[in-house]
Chains A and B, each alone.
Chain A
Amino acid sequence: QQQVKQSPQSLIVQKGGIPIINCAYENTAFDYFPWYQQFPGKGPALLIAIRPDVSEKKEGRFTISFNKSAKQFSLHIMDSQPGDSATYFCAASIRGGATNKLIFGTGTLLAVQP
């Protein structure tokens, strides 16, 4: 119930391609879904987040698509660049919960080839 499943585990795309990372959850109480980007040896950085009352959110080259009925959400990176090479984590939490505790997916290692 508390798990967030993420796929693929790793992904290689060419520069300019559109990598897509998928996540699925079970707990319908989750109502906040952020994506984090992490470079080696660094802490995760918040990229973009979505709430279940919208089906899509765009910020720059990053887009989240959200399917509430399927309990799935995905991250799309438009016009990917070698600098986007990093590990991406999806997460979920219950807004207004006692601690806003985040449940993380297993991560996707993205490599963007020049």
Chain B
Amino acid sequence: GAVVSQHPSRVICKSGTSVKIECRSLDFQATTMFWYRQFPKKSLMLMATSNEGSKATYEQGVEKDKFLINHASLTLSTLTVTSAHPEDSSFYICSAAKGTEAFFGQGTRLTVV
């Protein structure tokens, strides 16, 4: 298998502040990582595809200025939720592609108060 580490696992922030979530592939290099959002008892909604050394590709309806993605190295992608609001509260999950398989991080529970 392969290990993907996501940090932090939980974060509470005040409305209007920004939060950064990190996704690291620990034992392999990942040129492509993915960011998902999951609402309670719902499926994973793909937000964007993060490509090392280039701009992320956002899914339709996802605000790229709101959800900033940086993939600066082959083992690290970050998602920054800017000017967070309570409606941004959710479970955010990253995955890293290794060949045709995708390995997921443990998720980040974001609560905006």
**A residues adjacent to B (C-beta < 8 A):** 32, 34, 36, 41-46, 49, 89, 93, 95-96, 99-102, 104-107, 109
Contact A104 B43 (CB under 8 A): yes
Contact A43 B93 (CB under 8 A): yes
Cβ < 8 Å to A, chain B residues 75-113: 91, 93, 95, 97, 100-107, 109
Q: Which residues of A contact B106 (CB under 8 A)?
A: 42-43
Instruction: Report A107 CB to chain B, min CB distance, Å.
Output: 5
Provide the main secondary structure of the chain B interface.
strand
Contact B100 A93 (CB under 8 A): yes
Instruction: Report A15 CB to chain B, min CB distance, Å.
Output: 24
**B residues adjacent to A (C-beta < 8 A):** 1, 4, 6, 32, 34, 41-44, 46, 49, 51, 57, 91, 93, 95, 97, 100-107, 109
Task: List 10 A-B pairs, minimum CB-CB distance, nearest first.
Answer: A43-B104, A43-B107, A43-B106, A44-B104, A106-B43, A99-B49, A104-B43, A95-B100, A43-B93, A104-B44
What total of A-B pairs shows CB separation below 8 Å? 58
Provide the main secondary structure of the chain A interface.
loop
Q: Which residues of B contact A95 (CB under 8 A)?
A: 100
User: 19 A-B residue contacts at CB 8 Å?
Assistant: A32-B100, A34-B101, A36-B104, A41-B107, A43-B95, A44-B93, A46-B102, A46-B103, A95-B100, A96-B100, A99-B32, A99-B34, A99-B49, A99-B97, A100-B102, A102-B34, A102-B102, A104-B43, A109-B41
Q: Which residues of B contact A102 (CB under 8 A)?
A: 34, 46, 95, 102
If A45-B104, A46-B102 are given as contacts, then 12 extra A-B residue pairs at C-beta distance below 8 Å, sorted by A number, are A34-B102, A41-B91, A43-B95, A43-B104, A43-B105, A89-B43, A99-B57, A100-B97, A100-B102, A102-B34, A102-B46, A106-B42
